[in-house]
Structure 1
Amino acid sequence: MSEMNVTKATPIYILSGFLGSGKTTLLHRMLSYWKDGGLKPAIIMNEIGDVNLDGILVDDELPMTEMLGGCICCTVRGDLSMQMFELINNERPDVIVIEATGAANPLEILDAVTEVSLTAKIDIKPMITVVDSVHLLELHEAQKGKTYRLMMEQIRCGSILIVNKIDRLQGKQLAEVESLLRHLNPFADLLPAVKCDVDLDRLTTMYDPLHRNHDHHEGHECDCSHKNHETTDNDQEQGCRHDRVNETHDHVTVYSHYFQGPVNSEQFEKFIADLPRDVYRGKGVLSFSDTSSRFLFQYAYREADYLKIAPKGNVPDVVVFIGEHFDKNKLAEQLRQLEAIPH
C-alpha cells in the first residue's frame, strides 16, 4: 500500500451504486484495508432518510460524519463543504471515503464534493460504482422507469465498476452483464466480485487516464453525457443539472418508522414477505418480543437479513424503507398494527 502524507491533499473516494448493491460491504472492506496498513480513514455517510443505520457497524475509533435527511447532491449539499472541512482539520485523516445514498445522481455528487476544494485541499479519486449484476439484468430487460435511468447514470459515471453478486448469475448472464456494462461505459475497469471481495490494493491505486490533465470533475463530466437521456437541446446547453436532480429524486420514496416497543418476530417477517415490489430497500434496528437480542435488519430486492447487534449509544428501534411511489400511509398502518399485537 502506498503511503499517504497528511500534509498533501486528502484523497477522497466516492462510493456510488444503487440501493442494496453492496456499497456498505465494500466500505467496510476498504476501512479494514486502510486500518491494517496503519492509516487513519474517515467516513462520510449520506442517507436520504433521517437515520444512519449503517453507521452503527462502524468502529467507534474512526471519524465519521453523518449527512441525513437528503442527498449530498441536492438537499444537504450545502452542509458538505463545511462538514468535510471540519473533518479534515479536526481529525487529520489520511483518506476519506464517502458512501452516497443509493438514490443519488453521481454527477451531482461529484459537483458537490468539488465545492469542498474551495475550503480544503482534497484529491478526488475516480468514482467507484457498485453494480448489482442481478438487478441490472432485470431492469435492463424492461428498460423503463426512472430507477433504470438512474442506475444507467451511476454506471456511466463510474471509473471503476464493481460487478457484484456474480455468484447469483447463471449460464451466460455474466457475459451479458459485462457486455452491457462495456456498452454503457467502455472506459471503466470492471471488477467482478462476490460480496464486493476485490483486490483492494489494485482498487485504491487504479488511475483512470481520462482524468489526466483535468481539473477535478471534468473527466467525469465528459463520461456522463446526456446523449442517452430524454432531454431537450436547451437542457443540454444549460447542463440541466438541477432539473435532473429533481427528476431523479421525485420518484424516490422514503419512510422511517420509530417503534414504541418490541414486535413479534414472526409477524414482522410476514410483513416483510408481503412488502410491495416497489419497496426496494429496508434497514432497521429492532427489538423482538420473543427474543432478548436486538437485531440489525437489512432488506434488498425481496431478501431480508437479521444480524444480532449491541448498538453503540442511544439507538432507537426504527425501520427505514426506500423505493418508488409506494404507499407510506399503508406501511405505517401495518407497522402500527404490529405494535398493537399482544406480546
Structure 2
Amino acid sequence: MDNKTKIPVYILSGFLGSGKTTVLLNMLEHCKNKGQHPGIILNELGQENVEGHLFEDKKVVELLNGCICCTIQDDLKETMDNLIAEMDSSPLDVLFIEGTGVANPLEIQESLLSKPYIDQFEIMSIITVLDASHYLEYQSVFSSSAEVRKLMKEQMVCGSLLLLNKTDLIRSEQLDKVIQKITKIAGVETELVKCSYGQIEAGMLFEKRFQSISIGKQHSDIDHHHHHHSTVQAIKLEDFPAFQQKTFEKWLKQLPNNVLRGKGIVEIENSNQFYSFQYASKKVTFTPVPSTLNKKNIIILIGTGLNNEAMNSHCKQLLEGI
C-alpha cells in the first residue's frame, strides 16, 4: 500500500481535564461536514466509558480499564489489526486515537510506526491539549507531584501541535507566563495555538505536522518505557439517587484537590432527565443525555491516591449528605 492510500491518523494527547474530547468532537464535526467516515479509538482508565453517547453514530472502539501506552498496549494492536481486517467491508477515511489523560503518546506513536501498521496508517499529527488555567499549578513543586510534571513534559515533547486550551479562564499576564514555560520545555519549533472550548480553525488541526525523524529527539528527552502515572487511578461511584443540580455542584467543588477530573451521568431531581457532566479545573458543565438511551447514575473520579478506603468512604459520606 502506498502513501496515497494510507489512512491518516491523529493522536490526541493531554493531561486530565485539558479538553481532548472537546477537540475531538470539533474534528469529528469537520469530518461530518466533508462527508468522511472516521474511526475512533477511545482509551479510558476506568472500567466504563460515560461519554459513549457523544459518539453514538460513529465507529468507535473503547479500550477501558488501562492505558494504551503501557498496560493494555496489546489491546491497541489488536484493535488496529481488526481495523485492517475490516477495511474492505468498513473503510475509514481517517482515524482518531484519544489516549487517557496520563498516556505517553510516544508509545502509541511507536506502535503505529511498526509493521504492519506503518503500511496501512500514516500519523499526521500528535495534538497535545494543555489546560492554561491549571498549567502553573500542575508545574509547581508545591502543588503537584514529580510524576505529573514528568508526564506533562512527555506529552508536550511528543506533541507536533500544542493547543493551549481554556485561555479564557486566566489573565493575560498569567497566560504570557504559561506560554513562556511551555516554550522552554517544548521548544520554539513546536507550534503553540491558544484557544477556548477547544475551538481552533480546522485547517490547523488537520495539517500534517508529524515528522518521524523527531523520534530520536524524543528518546533523548523522555525516560522511555518508564511510566509516570502509577499513582493516578479512577474510581467509580454508582447506585445513588437523583439529586438537585446545585447540591451536586457544591459536592464536586468540595472534593479534595487530588481529584483532578470527574465525569459521568446523573439524574437531576424533579427533572426526569439524565445529564452528562464534566468536572475539571473546579468547574462543572451539564449536557442533557438523549432520553432514548438507557442510562443510570454513575460518577467517575480520576486523580492521585484515589484507590483507597479513605477516599471511597469520603465520597460515600458526601453522597449520603446530599
Q: Could you state the TM-score of these two structures normalised by the residue count of structure 2?
A: 0.88
2:273 maps to what in 1? 293
Check the 8 A contact 2:277/2:287 in 1, yes or no.
yes
Is residue 252 of structure 1 aligned with residue 225 of structure 2? no
Q: Which whole-Å CA distance do the structure 2 matches of 1:178 and 1:329 have between them?
A: 39
Q: Which whole-Å CA distance do the structure 1 matches of 2:244 and 2:254 have between them?
A: 16
Aligned residues between the structures: 315
Check the 8 A contact 2:133/2:281 in 1, yes or no.
no
Is residue 154 of structure 1 aligned with residue 155 of structure 2? yes
Distance 1:327 1:73, change over 3 A: closer
1:304 maps to what in 2? 284
Deviation at 1:167, TM superposition (A): 1.4
Deviation at 1:133, TM superposition (A): 1.4
Deviation string for 1:141-176 (max 9, x for gaps)? 437521122111111111100111111221322222
Q: Which whole-Å CA distance do the structure 1 matches of 2:24 and 2:117 have between them?
A: 26
Q: Which whole-Å CA distance do the structure 2 matches of 1:318 and 1:6 have between them?
A: 44
Distance 1:328 1:315, change over 3 A: farther
- The amino acid of 1:219's aligned partner reads S
Q: Could you tell me which runs of 5 or more consecutive residues in structure 1 were left unpaired when the two chains were aligned.
A: 230-239
Is residue 66 of structure 1 aligned with residue 62 of structure 2? yes
Check the 8 A contact 1:85/1:120 in 2, yes or no.
no
Deviation at 1:302, TM superposition (A): 1.4
- Relative contact order: is structure 1 or structure 2 higher (C-alpha 8 Å, sep ≥ 6)? 2
- The amino acid of 2:150's aligned partner reads R
Q: Which whole-Å CA distance do the structure 2 matches of 1:152 and 1:119 have between them?
A: 26
Deviation at 1:75, TM superposition (A): 1.6
Deviation string for 1:187-236 (max 9, x for gaps)? 3111111111111112212435xx2xx4xxx5234235337x6xxxxxxx
SS of the equivalent of 1:127 reads strand
* Identical counterparts, % of pairs: 32
Check the 8 A contact 1:85/1:119 in 2, yes or no.
no
SS of the equivalent of 1:285 reads strand
Q: Which whole-Å CA distance do the structure 2 matches of 1:72 and 1:312 have between them?
A: 31
Q: Which whole-Å CA distance do the structure 2 matches of 1:274 and 1:19 have between them?
A: 18
Check the 8 A contact 2:27/2:205 in 1, yes or no.
no
Q: Which whole-Å CA distance do the structure 2 matches of 1:264 and 1:302 have between them?
A: 18
In the TM superposition, what are the counterparts of 1:1-343 in structure 2 within 5 Å?
A: 8-60=5-57, 62-90=58-86, 91-115=90-114, 117-118=116-117, 121-142=120-141, 144-186=145-187, 187-208=189-210, 211=211, 214=212, 218-223=213-218, 225-226=220-221, 240-241=224-225, 244-245=226-227, 248-310=228-290, 313-326=293-306, 328-337=308-317
Check the 8 A contact 2:80/2:117 in 1, yes or no.
no
Check the 8 A contact 2:53/2:289 in 1, yes or no.
no
The CA RMSD measured in Å over matched residues stands at 2.6
1:233 maps to what in 2? none
Q: Which whole-Å CA distance do the structure 2 matches of 1:275 and 1:113 have between them?
A: 38
- The amino acid of 1:102's aligned partner reads G
SS of the equivalent of 2:40 reads strand
Deviation string for 1:250-280 (max 9, x for gaps)? 1112111222543454543332121000100
Deviation string for 1:84-138 (max 9, x for gaps)? 2323442211000011110112222222343473496111122110111121122
Q: Which whole-Å CA distance do the structure 2 matches of 1:190 and 1:72 have between them?
A: 26
